[in-house]
Amino acid sequence: MNILVFVKATIDRNAPLDPDETFPGDRDDKSDVMTNNYDKNAIEAALRIIEEKGEGKVTAVCLGSDMADKVVKEAIAMGCHEAIRIENSKAEVTHFYSVAKILAAAAKKVGEFDLLLFGMQSYDYGTATMAPMVSEFLDLPLACWVEKIAFNDGKVIVDKVIEGGIRKVEVKMPAVLSIASSGDFEEPRYTSVRRIMKASKTAVPVWEIADLGIEEKKPSVEFDDIEEPPARTEKCVIFDDGDASELVGELLGALKEKGLNIGAYK
């Protein structure tokens, strides 16, 4: 069983936002970068499958600059056997569509695989489009938001989250799955000192986009600009000093004063 897990370098949630950033994860300070937390659920799923089958290989694939080395090393330190980084140092490729083209081409270059796993979305842009696009480009079956995985006769049977419930789907392999952050893979494992020591000694091959045979680099959609929202000028008034019934009256009075239609209240 050969599994590829696609991991993304995102900005650490505690790091300051940079509106001028052209590609997520492309920062000068490595400590600002972290593994997209949803991708850790996908890594967990891949590792569990291999552990249960007792054989196979998990390879983490990441598009990013050398800042993303931290992310591929973390994937190995979680238990992935190998990792590949696709160089994107000049932030040549920034749009989701083009990223998906590259990831699909990388999967093709790897050649033999049974499953391509993605996190259900990314922590930063959260478009949840990567798995569907890659499955389309490779013409492979797709199941999104997968909570549970079982195998039967060359097929993979998954529980996928749908609105208000779970749908069981059987797909042929090779297949593309996006893994939900709930269900069986809800708690991704930590790295461990032993695996970190191994990861720091593992050389990660770096592939060039140019070698992947992608013709189309131009994004179909471009970001015109990213700005911080204007500072809010409204003041927050808190009614918390006094009897609740009186406070409600004060609140409604203040809303009425602002010209809000509050129905029958006088």
Partner 1 sequence: MKQLTKIFKTLNFDKEAQEQNEMILDMVYELAMNEIIEKEQDWDEEGAHFDPATKKVSFPSGMMDLYKKCQQNDLFSIIVPEKYDGFGLSYTLWNAVIELMARASLAFSMFFPSQGLNIEIINNFGTPEAKEKYLPLLASGDAIGAMAFSEPNAGSDISAVGTKAEKEGDSYYLTGNKIWLSHGGAAGTYITFAVTDKSAGPKGLSAFIVDPKIAKENMEVVRIEEKMGLHGSITSSMALDRAEVPKENLLGKENDGFRLILGSLASSRIGIAAQSVGISETALQESINYSMQRTQFGRPIGKHQAISFMLADMATKVHQARLLYLNTAHMKHMGENTQIESSMAKYWATELAQKVTYDAVQIHGGYGYSREYRVERLFRDAMVLTIYEGTSEMQKTIISRGTLSRAQK
Q: Which residues bind partner 1 (CB under 8 A)?
A: 14, 30-31, 70, 73-74, 77, 190-194, 196-197, 199-201
Using the minimum distance from each CB to partner 1, give the nearer residue, 201 or 258.
201
Using the minimum distance from each CB to partner 1, give the nearer residue, 34 or 50.
34
Would you mind telling me the total number of residues written for the chain in this entry? Answer: 266
Whole-angstrom distance, CA of residue 78 vs CA of residue 50: 13
Residue 210: count of CB within 10 angstroms of its CB: 10
Candidates 146, 141, 147; CA nearest to 171 is 141
Confirm if 181 and 161 have CB atoms less than 8 A apart: no
Whole-angstrom distance, CA of residue 9 vs CA of residue 59: 16
Q: How far is the CB of 181 from partner 1 (least distance, A)?
A: 14
DSSP string, 86-133: EE-TT----SHHHHHHHHHHHHHHH---SEEEEESS-SSS----HHHH
Q: How far is the CB of 28 from partner 1 (least distance, A)?
A: 13
In a 13 Å sphere around the CA of 122, the CA atoms on its Cβ side amount to: 20
Query: Hey, what are 1's tokens?
Result: 């069983």
Task: Give the chain's radius of gyration (CA, Å).
Answer: 23
Using the minimum distance from each CB to partner 1, give the nearer residue, 75 or 120.
75
Q: How far is the CB of 4 from partner 1 (least distance, A)?
A: 22
Q: How far is the CB of 26 from partner 1 (least distance, A)?
A: 19
Place of tokens 């992947």: 212
Using the minimum distance from each CB to partner 1, give the nearer residue, 40 or 101.
40
Q: How far is the CB of 91 from partner 1 (least distance, A)?
A: 23
Q: Is 232 exposed, middle or buried (0-12, 13-18, 19+ CB in 10 A)?
A: exposed
Q: How far is the CB of 60 from partner 1 (least distance, A)?
A: 15
Using the minimum distance from each CB to partner 1, give the nearer residue, 1 or 204.
204
Using the minimum distance from each CB to partner 1, give the nearer residue, 127 or 192.
192
Using the minimum distance from each CB to partner 1, give the nearer residue, 162 or 254.
254
Q: How far is the CB of 186 from partner 1 (least distance, A)?
A: 13
Q: How far is the CB of 244 from partner 1 (least distance, A)?
A: 21
Using the minimum distance from each CB to partner 1, give the nearer residue, 41 or 135.
41
For the chain, give percent helix, strand, coil, nearest 5: 35, 25, 40
